[in-house]
Amino acid sequence: MRFGKSLTKAQYGPWKQHYLDYNKLKSLLREDDPDKPWVDEDEQRFVDELVNVQLEKVNSFQTATYKSLIERTSQCESKLEKLVGKDEASKDKESELSSSLKELDSIREEINRLERFSRINYTGALKAAKKHDRRRGANYKVRPLLQVRLASMPFTSEDYSPLLYRLSAMYAFIRQQLDGNQERAMSNGETHQRMIKYTSYKFFVHPENLLELKTSILRHLPVLVYTPTSTKAVDAVQKDPTITSLYFDNKNFSLYTGKVEKGSGAASLRLRWYGQLRDRPELALEKKTLAEGDDSEEIRFNIKAKYVLPFLKGEYKMEKQTAKLRQKHGANSEEVQNLEKTVDEIQDFVKTDNLEPILRASYTRTAFQIPGDNKVRISLDTNMAFIREDCLDVDRPVRDPDQWHRTDIDDAGMEYPYSGIRKGEISKFPYALLEIKVREGSSRRHSEWIDDIMSSHLVCEAPRFSKFVHGVASLFEDHINTLPFWMSLLETDIRKDPEQAFEEEQEKKNKRAEDELAIGSFIGSFGKSPLNGGGSQMSKKQSIGQNGKFPASKMLSPVQKPKESEDGSEAQNLGVSSRLKQFFPAFSSSKYAQSKRNKVQLPPGVKKPEYWIKDVGTVKVEPKVWLANQRTFIKWCHIAILLSTLSVSLYNSAGLHSNVARGLAVVYTIIAIFAGAWGYGLYISRSRMIRRRSGEDLDNILGPTIVCLGLSVALCLNFGFKVS
């Protein structure tokens, strides 16, 4: 289906006027009149319409709609806060809870519409730019400019996680109130608490930052290499393994579309192996299904290369492996039943969706993990390349249709950079991919250094990145009508100045604090409601914040009873609920905590110290600091001596009748005295500041400015008097 028809089909009626006008952009390209010369005015008209009109229209609508959703969410929170404490049997309360539930459903549906709105318009802009460069690209290229512009627009990178978390908290409260079944919620929470879950974070890494990033990680985790059979510590000569993932899809790319749109139930299938296929490694066939939220369910089994093609054709059902399990564990054992069920499910999946190999992703993986400790797992994938494996072109297939993989690559043992592959069949990823997995319940000691890495200038956040999605988007752009948002990052320089990265992280933290305050004030206001004190736990993984950088922590017990405040009144909302503490263990948004942060009351007889403890006692300063101050003083002395020498020589050579020369000599002498006095005063002042470890600025441009102006005026007067 052409993209114009896909865009029309995907439009939501009430928002129709806010979508990208793709037909207008096509008309500006004058596809019906290709012989007419394309001049600068035509180019300016097209670029202005695309960048300044269409994209601004889309971005403005997305921003306004998102703000409206936030306001509606806040209003719903305020409405629910008023219901706390009312009689549970009240009909009015039940009616208001039902209406709030409908409002939450409406907000949730609009969030989904807004995300689809952003994605289809993002794809449309890139499609229009590609069409332009293909037809008018001999002298004009607009796609690089568009990629930079898209990367800076909020609608391509908006994170809905904070808003979704607020909705989740309200959903839990409403359903508990309507169902009145707290015991079931508690039991569910305990069950999920025993399950091992990970929070995953993905980042792009520029090649220039790879070594610094590796050394930063090595301070905390050793290097591991994952082999097909086991995980062993890497030795001095062992190389990082090359991993190949062969992904499946059909001619309509339905698996890709489901993956991009993040719909619940979307599935993907891949065949994975380590090293070269000619070395006969063990292969793993894996099916991953997206569950609600960011969770996923994965089933897999190992298979030999000679059985892959018969299995895909439905001629082989892993009978040999099943027979071995029956002999080892028994005919009706759980292992046998699980394998048979997995084989049938994957084989039905291949047959129902007409799946075939579409592309392979090859990369070198460096893994970091403490042996026997899976709290933190880090992988760094480099030399990443995506290669076509399809048979979409019947006349010129990339892969032999009678084979399940490209024999030209595997038989020859090709390695990166795959120079023997034709252009257009390979896409090399320009960055490395860093993935950090933190297990729920990990200590704060782990999360501190991880936070430092994730907020540093060494990485660029790439949430929801998928090798399968990126490979299809980069190699089959003409066959798909939806593109992932991170494609615009590939045309920009992701390197950041350390100071700039720090400022951006501070802004994100401030935004997260605002989101947390909104969530905390809502949850904390429930008091002893089931949401706050009923013992219910979150049953699934959440990723919160603008950049998702909140390592999960251990499930906490219900909120404890508030203590008495100093004035005798109860400090309401002392602790945030266990749900909020799960993600923000070091922050409380209660009124008590806010008052303590705003004003610190010291005990009687204790006064605020005048000096920090670090400033008391022997001052230890590095010698280079003192030497730098001394060098500056010597430079000022050097200037003073040069000027005084000039003034004395000028005065002695002037004679009794040259009043102008003698006057200028006096001026130079005054400047020399000022330079010497300024240098000495600056030396004493800075020495005092170093001893006190003062935070004041050490620079002072007043003295150099006076000396330069004085010399300039004296030289100008000297020249003027000489000419006259």
Could you tell me the pLDDT band of residue 574, with boundaries at 50, 70 and 90?
very low
Residue 610 lies in a domain: no
- 179 HSE (CA, 13 A, CB side): 14
Residue 585 lies in a domain: no
Average pLDDT over residues 657-680: 85
Last residue of one domain, picked from the residues 158, 183, 215? 158
| Lowest-pLDDT choice from 189-193, 207-211, 384-388 | 189-193
Are residue 212 and residue 125 in the same domain, yes or no?
no
| Lowest-pLDDT choice from 348-352, 466-470, 638-642, 647-651 | 647-651
| Mean pLDDT, all residues of the chain | 77
Are residue 228 and residue 136 in the same domain, yes or no?
no
- Structure letter (DSSP) for residue 570: B
CB 308 within 8 A of CB 410: no
Are residue 380 and residue 249 in the same domain, yes or no?
yes
Are residue 202 and residue 136 in the same domain, yes or no?
no
Domain that holds residue 141: 3-158
Are residue 82 and residue 225 in the same domain, yes or no?
no
CB 213 within 8 A of CB 380: yes
376 — phi, psi (to 5°)?
-130, 125
CB 161 within 8 A of CB 543: yes
pLDDT digits (tens, 9 = 90+) for 47-92: 898 888 988 999 899 889 988 988 898 888 888 887 776 665 567 7
Residue 510 lies in a domain: no
Residue 272 lies in a domain: yes
Could you tell me the pLDDT band of residue 294, with boundaries at 50, 70 and 90?
low
Residue 216's domain is classified under what CATH number?
Answer: 3.20.100.30
State if pTM tops 0.85.
no
Structure confidence at residue 440 (pLDDT): 74
Burial class (CB in 10 A: 0-12, 13-18, 19+), 560: exposed
Structure confidence at residue 193 (pLDDT): 34
Are residue 144 and residue 253 in the same domain, yes or no?
no
Structure confidence at residue 564 (pLDDT): 37
pLDDT digits (tens, 9 = 90+) for 262-289: 666 788 999 999 989 988 899 999 999 8
Does position 569 have pLDDT exceeding 70, yes or no? no
| Structural domains of the chain, count | 3
Using DSSP, state whether 317 is helix, strand or coil.
coil
Residue 31's domain is classified under what CATH number?
Answer: 1.20.58
* Cα dihedral 129, 131, 134, 137 in deg (nearest 10): -40
Structure confidence at residue 443 (pLDDT): 56
Max CA pair span of the chain: 124
Are residue 120 and residue 261 in the same domain, yes or no?
no
* Range among 106-110, 570-574, 697-701 rated most confident: 106-110
Residue 556 lies in a domain: no
| Lowest-pLDDT choice from 265-269, 387-391, 398-402 | 265-269
Could you tell me the pLDDT band of residue 190, with boundaries at 50, 70 and 90?
very low
Residue 260 lies in a domain: yes
Q: For residue 198, give the H/E element and its range.
A: strand 198-205
Last residue of one domain, picked from the residues 469, 491, 513? 491
Does position 237 have pLDDT exceeding 50, yes or no? no
Could you tell me the pLDDT band of residue 433, with boundaries at 50, 70 and 90?
very high
Are residue 224 and residue 369 in the same domain, yes or no?
yes
Are residue 11 and residue 137 in the same domain, yes or no?
yes
Are residue 141 and residue 221 in the same domain, yes or no?
no
DSSP 623-671: HHHHHHHHHHHHHHHHHHHHHHHHHHHHHHHH-TT-HHHHHHHHHHHHH
Could you tell me the pLDDT band of residue 343, with boundaries at 50, 70 and 90?
very high
Average pLDDT over residues 564-578: 36
Bigger pLDDT: 180 or 250?
Answer: 250
Q: What percent of the chain has pLDDT over 90?
A: 20
Are residue 286 and residue 381 in the same domain, yes or no?
yes
Tokens of 183: 């015991």
Residue 191's nearest CA partner among 202, 181, 183, 203 is 183
Structure confidence at residue 542 (pLDDT): 36
Measured over the CA atoms of residue 186, residue 190, residue 191 and residue 197, the dihedral's sign is: positive
Last residue of one domain, picked from the residues 491, 521, 552? 491
Burial class (CB in 10 A: 0-12, 13-18, 19+), 478: exposed
Structure confidence at residue 179 (pLDDT): 67
Residue 501 lies in a domain: no
Structure confidence at residue 161 (pLDDT): 66
Residue type, 242: T
Average pLDDT over residues 454-477: 90
Tokens of 278: 């000619």
* Cα dihedral 595, 600, 604, 610 in deg (nearest 10): -170
Over the range 710-719, which residues count as b (16 or more CB within 10 Å of their CB) and which as e?
Answer: bbeebeeebe
pLDDT digits (tens, 9 = 90+) for 478-531: 888 888 888 877 777 888 888 877 887 777 777 767 666 655 555 555 544 333
pLDDT digits (tens, 9 = 90+) for 123-179: 888 888 888 888 776 677 888 888 778 877 877 766 676 777 678 778 777 877 776
Are residue 235 and residue 366 in the same domain, yes or no?
yes
CB 498 within 8 A of CB 452: no
Bigger pLDDT: 229 or 683?
Answer: 683
